[in-house]
A = this chain, B = another copy of it.
Amino acid sequence: MESAIPEHLRTTRTRHRRIPDDYAPPYPSFVARHKPGVARVVMAYFGVQARDASSKAAGEALAWITTCFESDAGPTHWDRARYIDEAGFSNIVTVAYWDDRAKFDGWFPTARDGWTGDRRALDGVGTFIEVLYPSVEGYETLFSSLGRPEGIAVLADGMSGEVQEHAYWGGMRDRIPLSQTSELAPAGAARAIRDGARIRVIPHDNLCLIRSGQDWVDTEASERNMYLGDVEPVLREGMDFLRDEGRSIGCYANRYMTVTAPDGRPIEKSYGMSWWKSLAALERWAESHPTHVRIFGAAMKYLSTLGPAAKLRLYHEVTVARTDEAFFEYFDCHPQTGMLNAVQRADTA
């Protein structure tokens, strides 16, 4: 048993964990471990928004960003997924990961210019960029099994052994190294800067992002039926609540995404990604909303019972970012897109 916080990120605490030192979780979970030399990572979401996801314009946009990724300074890993949003638009989101901020900074200007900027040549689609570049103290991961990393964990040096800080409410916070000394409270106000069809959003401090995924590729008959019949509908209900009513509880936006193969066809993986006013708001929803409480209860029971025999894979990554660790830009997107929900009006640049 080891701490989710690696040795080199441990510091003198001013804030306590929620569990006693002898706490033993009821089932195993694991976290991604970067090399100690990694100080900061980049999680960059490139979105295409269109009435018709199979349109020529959408296809060209996806092909263009894919080409950008292939440059030397491109991401170490990326994946693509889609969903239909509350306004009826298809959103195809390509998420790219770096563990070298300087490399990203060298790569990004061209991609930004072509996606939401001055040299934009993507007609007929809305586009957006949502990027966090947190220090390694500012985020955490969690995996129910080994062998198939997702998201930022694909870039890691490897996975931990069984960690202690999980399977209780508050584990998410306790796994973030900054929680050793910070409440991670939001500060300031998000604001928007409008420049024609392009809107930049400057978020408040300690904005929170969660990407939380499911992978049922390996499940067989009975487990697959259980996931699709019992778990997924409850998960979907929770995702719909956040999408439609999340604003009232501090969730700016939620996307329940279906992961796609390179040819665009759906594969048996999904993830929810949501932007939150604070880690605390995410905690309150997770702990008290009936749909998520049921999901948590089901997962506890499921993983405690099946243990390593479970073929369903669950993971998430949760980040708390400072204002200067985030970049948001929306071009010709509808007003309920992502972090546009966090601002009341857009100042003209």
Chain A, residues 1-28, CB within 8 Å of chain B (1/0): the string is 0000000000000011011100100100
A69 interface residue, CB < 8 Å from B? no
A167 interface residue, CB < 8 Å from B? yes
**A284 vs B22: C-alpha distance in the bound complex, in angstroms?**
12
Residue of B nearest to A296 (CB): B293
**A297 vs B167: C-alpha distance in the bound complex, in angstroms?**
17
Q: What residues of B have a CB within 8 angstroms of the CB of A287 in the complex?
A: 168-169
A278 interface residue, CB < 8 Å from B? yes
Assess the B26–A288 pair: CB atoms within 8 A. Answer: yes
Which of B20, B183, B280, B296 is the one whose CB lies under 8 Å from A280?
B20
Chain B nearest Cβ from A204, distance in angstroms: 14
A149 interface residue, CB < 8 Å from B? no
A114 interface residue, CB < 8 Å from B? no
A301 interface residue, CB < 8 Å from B? yes
Chain B nearest Cβ from A131, distance in angstroms: 26
**A168 vs B20: C-alpha distance in the bound complex, in angstroms?**
19
**A169 vs B297: C-alpha distance in the bound complex, in angstroms?**
14
User: From residue 146 to 187 of chain A, which have CB atoms closer than 8 A to chain B?
Assistant: 167-170, 183, 185
**A15 vs B297: C-alpha distance in the bound complex, in angstroms?**
28
Assess the A168–B284 pair: CB atoms within 8 A. Answer: yes
Assess the A170–B300 pair: CB atoms within 8 A. Answer: no
A307 interface residue, CB < 8 Å from B? no
Assess the B26–A280 pair: CB atoms within 8 A. Answer: no
**A16 vs B300: C-alpha distance in the bound complex, in angstroms?**
27
A290 interface residue, CB < 8 Å from B? yes
Q: What residues of B have a CB within 8 angstroms of the CB of A247 in the complex?
A: none
Assess the A20–B169 pair: CB atoms within 8 A. Answer: no
Q: What residues of B have a CB within 8 angstroms of the CB of A18 in the complex?
A: 18, 170
28 contacts between A and B (CB under 8 A): A15-B16, A16-B16, A16-B183, A18-B18, A18-B170, A19-B280, A20-B183, A20-B185, A20-B278, A23-B280, A23-B284, A26-B288, A167-B288, A168-B284, A168-B287, A168-B288, A169-B169, A169-B170, A169-B287, A170-B170, A288-B300, A290-B297, A290-B300, A290-B301, A293-B293, A293-B296, A293-B297, A294-B297
Interface contacts beyond A168-B287, A294-B297: sample of 19 additional A-B pairs, CB < 8 Å, sorted by A: A16-B16, A16-B183, A18-B18, A20-B183, A20-B185, A20-B278, A20-B280, A23-B280, A23-B284, A26-B288, A167-B288, A168-B284, A169-B170, A170-B170, A288-B300, A290-B300, A293-B293, A293-B296, A293-B297
